[in-house]
Structure 1
Amino acid sequence: MTEPETTASGPQPDDTRTADRYDVVIAGASLAGCAAAILLARRGVRVALLERRSDPEAYKVLCTHAITACAYPVLDELGLVPALEKAGAVRNEARWYTRWGWIEPKAAPGGPELPYAYNVRRSTLDPLIRSHAARTPGVELLLGHKVTGLLQEGGRTAGVRVTTPGGGERELRARLVVGADGKDSAVAGYAGIPVRRHENARFGYLAHYRNLPLPGGVGQAWFLEPDMAYSFPNDDGVTVLAVLPDKKHLPAFREDLEGSFEAFVRALPEAPPIDSAERVSKIIGTVDYPLLTREPTAPGIALVGDAALTGDPLWGVGCGWALQTAHWLAGAVAPAAAGRGDLDRSLAAYARTHRRRLRPHQQLAADFARSRPFNPVERLMFAAAARDEGAARHMYLFASRLIGPLGFLNPVAVAKAAAVNLRHRFSPAGRPARPAGSPG
């Protein structure tokens, strides 16, 4: 058995058997995997961080490139906020178009600023967090290492089999294997963890533009019922522009992708002026992106990020949830992963947190992925948010995943939304302008 290949600096152990035994092996050195590795290692856990790609600058291409505000505390704990600010990451304020007008969340007069995180291209973010992980004591970043199977011992996973950059094979043993390897997780597949698939009746394409002005310099989203679109300003003056139409539009897009994409954008209310901007990427996307849900744990295994739950890209929550799930996992299992507690009990605690915090959001997203118009409750809340600053702030907290569906639809918030819409309905300005089918 050979000495582990690693990008970590410093001397390597002489005993190769010890070198191939870790507390935790993490498959996938993107956002979730790197965040989990850093947070576990800081808690005294020895981590092997595997990445199947050999290039340390590799990054995910198909992404919203947005980190929701719910993940800001994780970025802060990781120590990445100064580096992101220096790299030009854009604080992700936003406004949303609806049939009732624009929802434009603003801080309350005299109150604190709205919570935020960042829009930042993955070509900037992924290498940044990966290099941060590689410099963390206790983390060994193993590039070019692909998981080819799991090791079993006593009815539980006890490590992984991998291929190395030179074509060799290794076995890495650990108390815990973490699947941070995306929606098509090899770890979940080898473990036989079932996946629940929610079909997505929309498809999506995006492109990057330079010098694309947006009102107020903030992100925008269009709820066109059922079609969707968004534009997010990112680092280095680049804006990500995405369209997510109903699949009934797919034949036209397949016949003329560039023409259909640009026509869709030009038809948006207050459309971004793409004709005066420079497109600096290809138009990329996917025609089938289902929402996937797996149990986040199995004996000796934990899943984080998209491996456990893949959301609808129209909500831009994937990056934030990747960071949050890594944080929840590290907080729950670190002592046990280092041999100082009951690992199964710790994994159960992580699973409870994961299900409680994310499943309700996923259930709503799966329902909306059927590409339907707003339902009556959504009409109530979105109409109020377009008409009232307090309702807009409440909507912002939900969109940022700082409150869950129950918090968003609590009785007080629903009553306030109804009152806003009633006032609008009976106001002189509201009566003639009320769109047909609106809740008032």
Structure 2
Amino acid sequence: MTRPESAQYDHDYDHDYDVVVSGAGLAGSAAAILLARRGVRVALLERRSDPAAYKVLCTHSLTANAYPVLDELGLVPALEKAGAVRNEARWYTRWGWIEPRAAPDGPELPYAYNIRRSTLDPLIRSHAAQTPGVDLLLGHRVTGLVRETGRTAGVQASTPQGEREIRARLVVGADGKDSTVAKLAGVPARLYENARFGYFAHFRNLPLRDGIAHTWFLEPDMAYAFPNDEGVTVIAVLPDKKRLPAFREDLEGSFAAFVRALPDAPPIDSADRITKITGTVDYPLHSRKPITPGVALIGDAALTGDPLWGVGCGWALESAHWLAEAVASAATGRGDLDRSLAVYARRHRRRLRGHQYLAADFARARPFNPLERLMFSAAARDDSVARHMHLFASRLIGPLRFLNPAALAKAAAINLKHRPSPTPPTP
């Protein structure tokens, strides 16, 4: 239930909750819904007063690992009705295009959706507000944590009516990479330099081959074009920071020139750009320990990946789901909360640490390493390896399964078949 800014607090309204979630974006709204469905009383705090507020800096894509969570949330029909585009994709490499396709007579490839955050965020926030057990409190910004016997026991919040204390067994930080909750709880972030910068813009009437997403691995530069809802395509460029001076001198010209130079470039000159070019010149990857006594971190508050991979939205939904599964019973007083939080932390670390390690290494803006050359080149030449890569890119398998000995041996055998025959010596 949404509590408007003008609501007057009375005794019945100003009661304790089981969980306070700070941030009603993707991760926070999903966590609130999933916890409430498990019997948890949730206060969902959002610092912005506009229920239609949304995150701007985003890839606007939900990778296939998020589909089961979307399905459990009951959002799939609403997403398709809103025009979300299934995120099929092809990837350009120096060996040609990698084009994952379903096996003959096999199941379709796993998918989720491309959808703009201006559509997605209000949709899931509204869904949370309508969930029994959730109070959506707009215009509520966390300013402090309530501490008791060495643990967090609630929050202090700035509201339109002044400061307010909201007590709860658990505080969830779903407030992004610069998480206020994490800072107040004293949870440090480990930072990894990102040697690329990024700019993106939205276009209408921009045809893409087969109507599916395109990603360009240019070693070290990157780019992607994602078709979204309402016929809008998001184009992003992520060059090496060595190219930053030229972009700063002429952003419009540099952005257009970069896109025009892409292999099989999307025809931006005949399309309508409907937004300004937006981006960031410094976007480090970071990770935090996802728990401390009385506090859990989800989404970007716990781990911020490299935007070039488009995995942040999927991990936001997954981490919300992992937390709800682990702590719901304990959050209502029917279990050991610290032990439940430890279960969540182990799952978060096990599922995401390997992905983040590889992403942080690639964020140094380097060419492919030998293993990457092996797998990407084979995927451009063989449909089964392309499907294997699709599972990894969708974060449905981890690095160990992606680079398992059988997959590496198969890739090596495929590439051996494509080695050029030696030229016979001239007599």
Q: TM-score, normalised by structure 2?
A: 0.97
CA 1:319 to 1:5, structure 2 compared with 1: closer, same or farther past 3 Å?
A: closer
Counterpart amino acid of residue 15 in structure 2: D
Separation (CA, whole Å) in 2 of partners of 1:61 and 1:211: 21
1:384 aligns with 2:378: yes
Give 1:318's aligned residue. Answer: 312
How far is 1:20 from its partner? 3.0
Could you list the per-position Cα deviations for residues 236-288 of structure 1 after superposition, in whole angstroms to 9, with x for gaps in the alignment? 00000000000000000000000000000000000000000000000000000
Look up the match of 1:237: 231
1:298 is aligned to 292
| Alpha-carbon separation, structure 2, partners of 1:33 and 1:173 | 18
Contact 1:7 1:134 in 2 (8 A): no
Q: Could you list the structure 1 runs, at least 4 aligned residues long, displaced by more than 4 angstroms after superposition.
A: 11-14
Structure-2 residue corresponding to 1:111: 106
**Aligned match of 1:334 in 318, 328, 337?**
328
**1:122 to 2:113 alignment:** no
- Matched residue, 1:413: 407
> 1:366 and 2:360 equivalent?
yes
The CA deviation at 1:165 is 2.1
SS at match of 1:19: coil
Separation in structure 2 between the aligned mates of residue 49 and residue 155 of structure 1, nearest angstrom: 24
Counterparts of 1:248-287 in structure 2, within 5 Å, are: 248-287=242-281
What residue ranges of structure 1 are gaps of 5+ in the alignment?
A: 433-440
Q: Deviations over 1:71-102 (max 9, x none)?
A: 00000000000000000000000000000000
Residue in structure 1 matched with residue 191 of structure 2 by the alignment: 197
1:425, CA displacement in angstroms? 1.1
User: SS of the counterpart of 1:251?
Assistant: helix
What CA distance in whole angstroms lies between the structure 1 residues aligned with 2:3 and 2:119? Answer: 22
Change (3 A) 1:200 1:44: same
CA distance in structure 1 between the partners assigned to 2:27 and 2:60 by the alignment: 14
Report how far residue 13 of structure 1 moved. Answer: 9.2
Q: Which amino acid aligns with 1:248?
A: K
Q: Aligned-pair distance for 1:124?
A: 0.2
User: Which residue of the partner structure matches residue 149 of structure 1?
Assistant: 144
Partner of 2:79: 84
Q: Which of 36, 41, 62 in structure 1 is aligned with 2:36?
A: 41
**Structure 1, residues 161-189: CA drift from partner, whole Å, max 9, x if none?**
000024x0100000000000000000000
Q: Say if 2:197 and 2:283, in contact at 8 Å, map to a contact too.
A: yes
CA RMSD of aligned residues (A): 1.6
CA separation in 2, counterparts of 1:133 and 1:314?
A: 29
- Distance in 2, Cα, partners of 1:336 & 1:12: 31
How many pairs were matched up?
A: 422
Aligned-partner Cα distance in 1 for 2:103–2:361: 32
Query: In the alignment, residue 15 of structure 1 is paired with which amino acid?
Result: H
Match of residue 282 from structure 2: 288
Q: Partner of 1:97 in structure 2?
A: 92
Unaligned ranges ≥5, structure 2: none
Instruction: Measure the CA separation in 2 of the matches of 1:19 and 1:396.
Output: 48
Match for 1:89: what amino acid?
A: A
- Check the 8 A contact 1:7/1:140 in 2, yes or no: no
After superposition, the Cα gap between the structure-2 partners of 1:297 and 1:44, relative to the gap in structure 1 and judged at 3 Å, is same
**In structure 2, distance between residues paired with 1:382 and 1:12:** 59
Name the residue aligned to 2:213.
Answer: 219
Query: Residue in 2 aligned with 1:438?
Result: none
Identical pairs, percent: 78
Q: Check whether the contact 2:202–2:274 (CA below 8 A) recurs between aligned residues.
A: yes
Q: Work out whether residues 294 and 309 of structure 1, in 8 Å CA contact, stay in contact via their aligned partners in 2.
A: yes
Q: Distance in 1 between matches of 2:139 and 2:176?
A: 16
1:292 deviates by 0.7
Whole-angstrom CA distance in 2 between matches of 1:306 and 1:208: 23
Cα distance between partner residues in 1 of 2:9 and 2:205: 51
